[in-house]
A and B are shown apart, each in its own frame.
Chain A
Amino acid sequence: MRRILIIDDEDDIREVAALSLEATAGWQVFTASSGAKGIELAIAERPDAILMDVMMPDADGPTTFQNMQQNPAIANIPVLLLTAKVQGVDQRRFAGLGVAAILLKPFDPLTLAEQISEVLGWNEHPPVQQDPSTPAA
């Protein structure tokens, strides 16, 4: 089961995205309303991926991503930035960051999980299912 952290200051976006991923893909979802809270949660939960809004008060998505890169515990977690349309200047800024993908708003709640899986290559590499009968190494 995939575990996803959603970071967005908009309550509605967090709520719809979380239900979408839970209901359509059975993923476990954590949510945070700010970059700072998102970093705390990422360290605590070590999700498989982070879906993060770009425009947030205080630290925006790109700034939060750069802060995450400074922490070895979470630096390798793939981050997908979520933004309403991408401007020319923003594209250049995002391209140099090293995020896994940019997803555009509005997203379709019915296909969001599929979109995330596709960009992260999760369809080719599903999570390994642990066999309870196999003794641990």
Chain B
Amino acid sequence: MTENANQEIETLLADLWQRHLPTLHRRLAILERAATAASTGVLAEAVCEEALSIAHKLSGNLGMFGYQQAGDIASEIEQVFRAPTPKKLIQLTALTQKLRQALAARL
């Protein structure tokens, strides 16, 4: 693989990350609202499904941008929404905080 190809990809990833930031902020906010709803015991199915979809996308995308740790946290969040139990749902607030912290330097 040429150095040019490598550089082209790195430049695209950096540019895409900047363009992706508004979407990322929106997605984090949705996850945090779902976590808050879960902590009060009022997690509607539609909210749960949306949060599951978002967590799934983040678990796939963040690693591509080089944020593997954040991607792994998103995957943990996905698992909670995929099979929500009262015991797992109370972990969501801490997990979403952890996710935001993992990305804090680049948000």
Contact = CB atoms under 8 A, between A and B. Distances in A.
Interface of A: 10, 12-13, 15-16, 19-20, 23-24, 55, 83-85, 87, 105-107, 109-110
Contact of B9 (A12, A85, A87, A109): A109
Interface residues of B, number: 24
Given A12-B20, A84-B75, A85-B75, A105 B5 contact: no
Contact of B16 (A16, A84, A106): A16
A82 to B, nearest CB: 8
Interface string B3-29: 011101100110010001000000000
A12 B61 contact: yes
Contact of A23 (B9, B59, B63, B68): B9
A106 B61 contact: yes
A23 B8 contact: yes
A105 B75 contact: no
B64 A24 contact: no
Contact of A24 (B5, B16, B63, B75): B5
A12 B71 CA distance: 15
A131 B64 CA distance: 39
14 contacts: A10-B57, A10-B60, A12-B20, A13-B60, A16-B16, A20-B9, A24-B1, A85-B78, A105-B59, A106-B61, A106-B62, A106-B71, A109-B9, A109-B64
Nearest to A18: B12
